[in-house]
Amino acid sequence: MHGGVTGQAGHAMNSYRKLGFVLLSLLVVQGLPAQAAASGVGSQPARPDVRSQAYYIFDGSNSAVLASRHENTPAPIASITKLMTALVVLEADQPMDEMLTITVADVRGTAGSGSRLWPGARLSRNDLLRLALMSSENRAAHALCRSYPKGLTACVRAMNAKAAELGMKTAYFVEPTGLSKLNVASPCDLAKLVLAAGETPTIGRYSTAVEHTVYVGRQALQFRNTNSLVEKPDWQVGVQKTGYISEAGRCLVMQTVIDGRQVVIVLLNSFGKLTRIADAKRIRTWLETQHKTKAV
């Protein structure tokens, strides 16, 4: 009798276990779609595969942040600085055809960087601005700021005042080229700078030109853009700037059209020469795929 009861109890227990297993299996199966969506399996990943340490992707069409990482952390910005230099130089409304001379002060102010603009070279303010934005010419940027009304110090002061005006709370500038690691801003604040630069047609044209030739005396010097994407017919780049110093890594900011949307991309501290461009391409693919997935 005792053995029969035990056998019946064991049989019941096995039945409960089987039922529990079936219920658990159903719950797991029902939960798969949510888990897959969270992990990106079988759907568009929630974030793009960006290798740069910090990034910020902003849709200017509806003022939406699409994705970001370390977006509020200030970091060295290298030659992205030159967008701010260009803004204040243009706002000073000095004659763009005025000829400026590269001086020893410009060489000293850009120590550690190479240049084909030697002391005594004379170029127009217009040409210097083109070279600073397009090919990141440091002596050109320094000469522009040095020739600012009341000089270099006043120019840098104007850069910081402009940053405050744009609401760039983390931004700080000590010189006009970006060679100093003390020039800093967060990715979020750099998006504000890109948007302001994008509203200035001259900066847009000069920063996205593929190449430009200047004449120093009788010598023709050809300069090319540091961002290869401006040459690609399938990219619509409205404004851009690259940058590099060891403390900042490879940097890139730009405003471009993707799927009919005005998108601002900020990439800071990329490793290697190709990562920032590859990141920009991955972001574009992510946005285009995301759009197609939503349409389906």
The half-sphere exposure of 57 on its side-chain side, counting CA atoms within 13 A, is 21
**Do 290 and 64 contact (CB within 8 A), yes or no?**
no
**Do 245 and 181 contact (CB within 8 A), yes or no?**
yes
The half-sphere exposure of 88 on its side-chain side, counting CA atoms within 13 A, is 31
Exposed/middle/buried for 90, CB within 10 Å: 0-12, 13-18, 19+?
middle
* Catalytic residue flag (residue 136): yes
* pLDDT higher than 80, residue 247: yes
**Coil, strand, or helix at residue 276?**
helix
CA-closest candidate to residue 181, choices 80, 55, 70: 80
Q: Which of 135, 136, 147, 207 is catalytic?
A: 136
- The band of 290, judged by pLDDT with boundaries at 50, 70 and 90, is confident
183 or 19, which is more confident: 183
For range 134-143, the mean pLDDT: 98
- The pTM (predicted TM-score) of the whole model is 0.84
Report pLDDT for 292: 61
* Catalytic residue flag (residue 147): no
- At 170-214, the pLDDT tens digits run 999 999 999 999 999 999 999 999 999 999 999 999 999 999 999
Q: Which of 68, 79, 186, 270 is catalytic?
A: 79
* Catalytic residue flag (residue 82): yes
Q: Which of 82, 162, 192, 241 is catalytic?
A: 82
Go through the chain and tell me how many residues it has. 296
Distance CA 24, CA 279 (A): 42
Going along the chain from its start, the domains and CATH numbers come out as 54-295 (3.40.710.10)
- At 44-84, the pLDDT tens digits run 568 999 999 999 999 998 999 999 999 999 999 999 999 99
CA dihedral 38, 44, 46, 49 (to 10 degrees): 120
CA end-to-end span of the chain: 65
